[in-house]
Structure 1
Amino acid sequence: MSSRLIDISGKAIPWPSENEMQTDESKLSHLQKHFAEHPSSGLTPARLGSIMREAEQGNIIAQSDLGEDLEEKDGHIFSELQKRKLTLLTIRGSVEPCRNASESEKKDASMVQELLDEIPDFEDVITDMADGILKGFSNIELDWQRWGDDWLINRAHYRPQNWFQLNPNNRNEIRLRDNSPEGAPLQAFGWIKHIHRSKSGYPGRNGLTRVLAWPFLFKNYSVRDLAEFLEIYGLPLRLGKYPSGASDKEKSTLLQAVMSIGHNAGGIIPKGMEIEFQEAAKGASSPYEAMMSWCERTQSKAILGGTLTSQADGKSSTNALGNVHNEVRQELRDSDLRQIASTLTRDIVYPLWMLNGRAAGDPRRHPKFVFDVSEPEDIATYSERLPGLVSLGMRIPQAWAHEKLMIPQAEDGDPILALACAVPAPAPALESELEKEKDKKAANPKAKLAALKAQETTDVVEAYVSQLQGMANKASSEMIEQIKSLVDNARSLEEIRDGLLALDMPPDALADAMNQALSAASLAGRYELLQDAN
């Protein structure tokens, strides 16, 4: 197999046994026993500058450990990073064939998707890759296994960043620390090597650790100073007075009482001694809180691109500004997903495609991993606008509308939605029976006469109703206009009540219309009785 395997760049690669991992304890046991140094303990500006210079020169151990400390010790940094990481899991990703794919290439993409689905906890792989946002890179070792004729990824093991170093001859290359000056190169098809570019530069400088470390340091200074302020100014000054000639033992007893009385709220002293409580000097905690707030706002801007999607601003903000900041956060999400998809294509999709019998194909036509970051358009807006555009003569394809609204098109035979009020067409048999019944009625003279009388009666009734509406509309409209004007100008319900009682709305016109309608109805009834008698 090694003679025909090539990486995504076209270089021939050897392929080790499926049970052999590069960080096996028998090879690099010193990495398994390495523990973090926690450089944030006693961190000073001078020490922080030294850590960053070491990372620039290829020694990224201390900077990687500092990144772990930032996430563990600062709750605000942890919270903002979690928002950025977890939002990546809400977007669906899939393996897609290359452009203008043939049927064979489409089958290859489906095959790789099935093998990818077999990876346990694939969402954790994406989360582990997102650790590179803070530390600049994230390396995950792949444990391959042969199952029948297929090569599968049995497990994906996250490896901490302090296991690695930069190649001194090429600072863009990350290598394992094997106690050699250059380090061991990562074996092909054995790693997910994700370099996350939060900014331009090689991996030792492009992580957010270097941006967040300074506000983290200043914030810790302010928190320490605030704690000292509260300890000093939170309790009143306790001053003990002893009489002249007091012995050293008596002085020691008084001092012990003074030091413990603040917390124990009680104590005893020899007779003749005094303890006075002096009001503490005036001070304010606002300078320390302002500094801490500035640090957290800076951290939010660095991680999420703004402050209005978190509580870091400490103020109420408008919905419009919040939407703007949320759009910036969405752009960061799309950028993160694009970088992760590129790495997954190179280090998982391509090896699965190559190792499972597709080496004879063109390596440039391999499948790709893609996240669907498209958002559906507002269906309410489209439903209002599209009919007008169509009426103007625009020829809008149905496929385009389905794509914009992210509504799949129905396949042949699929049940589709329909209006609930739609009246189904009568069945052919029922329709023929109705026609026969009509023909029978038409052939019967008496039935025909009864139908004509019923039609005539319906027409007369409709005419009476229409005439009554015309006569009553004028009178009722005048009343409605007066009431409407009263309601529009009134300032309280009581004013409306009093206004209604004071309105002059003579019902004469409406009463005349009703009288004429009743008289007409009575005469029409008598006429029908006479017609039936004849």
Structure 2
Amino acid sequence: MILDRYGRLIPETTESKPVSGMQIVMQPLTDREGLDVSRGLTPRDVDRILVQANGGDVEAQCRLSRELPEKSPAVAHALRTRRNALTGCRWHIEPGDGSTRATEAAKRLKSDLDAAGTAHPKAGRLWSFPQLLAGLTDAVLPGFAAAEIVWRPGGLGFYGFRPVEQRFFSFTKSYSPRLRTTGHLYEGEEPGYGKLVFHALHDGIDPVRGGLIRPLAWLFCFSQINHKDLLSFIERYGMPFVRATVDQATWEKEKVTLNDLISNFGPRGGGVFSRNVEVELLQAASTTGDVYFRLLEYLDDAITKVLLGQTASSGDSSGLSGGDAQSEVRHDILAADARALEETVNRDLFAVWMRCNYPPGVPSPRLQIETEPPEDEKAAAEKNLILAQTIQSLA
């Protein structure tokens, strides 16, 4: 018992340790297959989804983030390119400083991470550490991604990591993540200490407003409307239209045959009129559909710019580091994604592991992701050979 100078009891503090095993139990909150928020998406739907997210209810926004890449080729391609650029970077673990204890901690942490990804009796097959890094890049659209840390007893290493879907979180009561469970469907509840790696991409304090789903939802909505108009245009100008003009007596006698005849030319491909009806088919100023194709191209370019920061493709990237895999993503975006991922892992995973395994004062290891393109080995070898030959000739 310790008292202060006034004789009052000073409460003892104990270092928290994360609970081992799987703790986060995700139960279905709604029918998985019966809800598709992107189906028939209108501007009013987009506005409703974003307003709900502004209030902390992010389920519809997270579902939209999951569904958009399945329905938009432009979103799928650009998103995959951005995520692959980051996951394709090499990474390593650096000691907190040059001391012996820090070097030892970095080696031991690397060993524990290499062993992660085993099967768990409750959770099944768990993620390895590289899979964790890849999974956290899913934050690009919804603005955040999370995974449960399945600790070994006492925080001495990891069984592995388990993804937690974004729709299982609520931000109605706080800017920090709260898990939606059966008893807390709306406001959620705080996750346990050291149980969650929570990766957020946002400039302010609100993680629900930092995802690229917000501008992309509008672009996808407009492109869907334009696609429908384009298909209707092609249907009108891309197939023959049959017009039959008959008198009343023929119509009364042969109307069934005439209807069957018109139907055989395809849907919306014909019409029957009496001789007393005058019909004028108004034509568009342009029958090429160029305005629709130009608008679709503009929307696809806008989607690519939002996700990649530029519109150059792998076949047109001579000005972007020669067309390698990372050159399709602007380097400043790639570097920002890498620094954000490093910060999340260093804070939510490495620092907690360090508290469980080493005394205070030993600096925590750090994750380092190499975003600079690797040097061409052949070019470097030729350069070194020329340099060696030059030095030898001067000797």
TM-score, L = length of structure 2: 0.78
Indicate the residue corresponding to 2:179 in structure 1.
176
Aligned to 1:372: 370
Find the partner of 1:303 among 301, 307, 311.
307
For residues 257-309 of structure 1, give each alpha carbon's deviation from its aligned partner in whole angstroms, at most 9, with x where no partner exists: 1121348x9xxxxxxxxxxxx99946221111111101111011110000013
Aligned to 1:188: 193
**Corresponding residue of 2:112:** 115
Q: Secondary structure at the match of 1:41?
A: coil
Q: 1:159 aligned to 2:164?
A: yes
Q: Does 1:21 align with 2:15?
A: no
Shift of 1:242: 3.2
One-letter amino acid of the counterpart of residue 126, structure 1:
L
Matches within 5 A, 1:20-169: 20-23=22-25, 29-31=27-29, 37-99=35-97, 101-120=98-117, 121-146=128-153, 151-168=156-173
Distance 2:226 2:17 in 1: 55
CA separation of 1:233 and 1:67: change in aligned 2, threshold 3 A: same
What is the deviation of 1:323? 6.1
| CA separation of 1:257 and 1:118: change in aligned 2, threshold 3 A | same
**Kept in 2: contact 1:115–1:352 (CA 8 A):** no
2:337 aligned residue: 336
Identity of aligned residues (%): 24
For residues 107-166 of structure 1, what are the alpha-carbon distances to aligned partners after superposition, in whole Å with 9 as ceiling and x for unaligned?
Answer: 1111111111112333221121000011100011122234xx872322311121111110
Secondary structure of the 1:194 match is strand
Q: Distance in 2 between matches of 1:156 and 1:382?
A: 44
- Segments of structure 1 that go 5 or more residues without pairing to the other structure are 1-9, 266-277, 312-316, 388-417, 423-534
1: distance between equivalents of 2:380 and 2:300?
39
Which structure has more RCO (C-alpha within 8 Å, separation ≥ 6)?
A: 2
Tell me: CA distance 1:11–1:164, structure 2 relative to 1, closer, same or farther (3 Å): farther
Which residue matches 2:254?
250
Does the residue aligned with 1:141 lie in a helix, a strand or coil? Answer: strand
Question: Superposition pairs for residues 162-241 of structure 1, below 5 Å?
Answer: 162-168=167-173, 170=174, 172-178=175-181, 179-180=183-184, 181-197=186-202, 199-241=203-245
* Residue identity opposite 1:189 in structure 2: G
Cα distance in 2, alignment partners of residues 109 and 175 from structure 1: 31
Root-mean-square deviation over aligned CA pairs: 3.4
CA contact (8 A) 2:312 2:328 kept: no
Distance 1:80 1:57 in 2: 29
Q: Which amino acid aligns with 1:177?
A: R
Counterpart of 1:140 in 2: which secondary structure? strand
Distance apart, 1:241 and its partner CA: 3.2
Distance 2:85 2:320 in 1: 20
Which of the pair is proportionally richer in helix?
Answer: 1
Q: Write the letter of the residue equivalent to 2:162.
A: H
| Aligned pairs for 1:457-476 within 5 A | none
Structure 1 contact 175–185 (Cα < 8 Å) conserved? yes
For residues 234-272 of structure 1, the C-alpha deviation after alignment (integer angstroms, 9 at most, x for no partner) is 122201233442364521220221121348x9xxxxxxx
For residue 349 of structure 2, what is the aligned residue in structure 1?
A: 348
Q: Relative to structure 1, is the Cα distance of residues 11 and 216 closer, same or farther in structure 2, using a 3 angstrom cutoff? A: farther
Q: Distance in 2 between matches of 1:69 and 1:126?
A: 22
Q: Distance in 1 between matches of 2:366 and 2:322?
A: 32
- For 2:294 and 2:306, the matched residues in 1 are separated by 19
What residue number does 2:6 align with? none
Displacement of 1:19 in angstroms is: 2.9
Q: Secondary structure at the match of 2:207?
A: coil
Asked if the contact 1:19/1:145 (under 8 Å) is kept, the reply is: yes
Letter matched to residue 133 of structure 1 = V
Q: Which amino acid aligns with 2:114?
A: D
Structural mapping, 1:430-469, within 5 Å:
none
- Asked whether the 8 Å contact 2:94–2:367 carries over to 1, the reply is yes
Residue 171 of structure 2 aligns to a residue whose secondary structure is: strand
Judged with a 3 Å threshold, the aligned counterparts in structure 2 of structure 1 residues 85 and 323 are, in CA distance, closer, same or farther, namely: same
Cα distance in 2 for partners of 1:352, 1:15 equals 9
Q: CA separation in 2, counterparts of 1:326 and 1:200? A: 28
2:125 maps to which residue? none
Instruction: Give how far 1:318 is off.
Output: 7.8
Query: Per-residue deviation at 1:215?
Result: 1.0
Counterpart residue number, 1:437: none
CA distance in 1, matches of 2:350, 2:146: 16
Range with greater deviation from structure 2 (156-165 or 238-247): 238-247
TM-score, normalised with respect to structure 1: 0.59
Contact 2:18 2:151 in 1 (8 A): no
Give, in whole Å, the separation in 1 of the partners of 2:321 and 2:104: 44
Output one character per residue of 1:74-118: Cα deviation in whole Å (capped at 9) or x when no partner.
Answer: 01111111111111222221221113x311121111111111111
Q: CA deviation at 1:210?
A: 0.2
Greater Rg over alpha carbons, structure = 1
Query: Which residue matches 1:507?
Result: none
Q: Closer, same or farther in 2 for the Cα pair 1:153/1:36, shift >3 Å?
A: farther
Match in the other structure for 2:121: none
SS at match of 1:373: coil
Shift of 1:228: 0.6
Which moves more between the two structures, 299-308 or 254-263? 254-263
Give yes or no for contact 1:37–1:62 (8 Å, CA) kept in 2: no
SS in 1 for 2:343: helix
Q: In the comparison of the two structures, how many residue pairs are matched?
A: 349
**1:411 corresponding residue in structure 2:** none
Question: Structure 1: how far apart are the matches of 2:342 and 2:167?
Answer: 25
